[in-house]
Structure 1
């Protein structure tokens, strides 16, 4: 009986990119992890990370406006939902959901998202760091 080859996933790479306190709720910080530029967002105390590249034409996506989702139930009426969860590309105004990376008008189009954790390092000085997993 021959042994089946096993496939394994590459090891999870972690990058400590910022102190949690440096990214206040409702703000973002653009960081570098490896060779990638990434926007790390604090939405209501939870951290999300997306690639700082618009899939349309390569604009620095995270330099765009962070806003709410505008929804409408009828002509002339609109309301804002999910405040601070949408980033708008600074070049062509394409909007992306920060939590999922999906484009608002075409969910099949997306930008890369990354897992984010906040970890405490138990050393001489305890310091909470935002860690991006790639």
Structure 2
């Protein structure tokens, strides 16, 4: 790892502090960030909804219904989305993309695990 990459990483929390389905909200500098445990690893989102600046990571972790050609509801992507508590806008936890408007995106941070420690790459 180069020196610049190491300097842009900030300690977020311990691995054991993050439970599946429940983000761990941490403060790094002046930023509030939600750390999520997903099926394939960890993800981090800025705790500000890009719609109206609500605390995005205080909303429920959920899935969504898939569009079908029939009058039915098919629930999918359980545990992969965060729904803003203010207005219900849904965002993909991994990418930060809003489900209804991909131009709207929550800020994400790369996550690095070192032993039992979780670090976020803050320099982008």
Give the Cα separation in 1 of the matches to 2:98 and 2:40.
Answer: 23
Pair 1:129 & 2:117 matched: yes
Gaps of 5+ in 1: 1-8, 121-127
Q: 2:33 aligns with which of 33, 38, 43?
A: 38
More strand by share: 1
CA contact (8 A) 1:50 1:101 kept: yes
SS of the equivalent of 2:53 reads coil
What residue in structure 2 maps to residue 115 of structure 1?
A: 110
SS of the equivalent of 1:77 reads coil
Gaps of 5+ in 2: none
For normalisation by structure 2, the TM-score amounts to 0.88
More helix by share: 2
Runs of 4+ with >2 A deviation: 9-12, 24-27
Structure 2 counterparts to residues 42-53 of structure 1, below 5 A: 42-53=37-48
Aligned residues: CA RMSD: 1.7
